[in-house]
Amino acid sequence: MGKDGIEMNGTVKECFPDTKFRVECDNGHQIIAYLAGKMRRNYIRVLPGDRVTVEISPYDLSKGRIIKRVSMVQKASEGGEPT
């Protein structure tokens, strides 16, 4: 997606086969997102309830790519409880 992608934060609501996830963005919009290649190569696990950063294509706002999982330290600073 590169430079023209829209980055948003959200919460993983549901896991699907083939590393796809239903993510609810902070604005309430739900999208289907897949795991970025670097996250697959480094075996970063994403589970329902995790906070993630999603890159959304401006051409199709219903699909995106999970580029980062928000760490526990960042969750605590946002005011949420670390799980």
Instruction: Determine, yes or no, domain membership for 53.
Output: yes
In tens, the pLDDT along 2-17 reads 578 899 999 999 999 9
Instruction: Determine, yes or no, domain membership for 81.
Output: no
Q: What residues make up the domain containing 15? A: 2-70
Cα–Cα distance for residue pair 20/64, rounded to 1 Å: 10
- Looking at the predicted structure, is the pLDDT value of residue 83 above 60? no
Instruction: Determine, yes or no, domain membership for 80.
Output: no
Nearest to 12 by CA among 24, 1, 3: 24
Q: State the greatest distance between any 2 C-alpha atoms of the chain, in Å, as a whole number.
A: 35
Instruction: Determine, yes or no, domain membership for 75.
Output: no
CATH of the domain at 51: 2.40.50.140
- The share of the chain scoring above pLDDT 90, in percent, equals 66
Instruction: Determine, yes or no, domain membership for 22.
Output: yes
Instruction: Determine, yes or no, domain membership for 66.
Output: yes
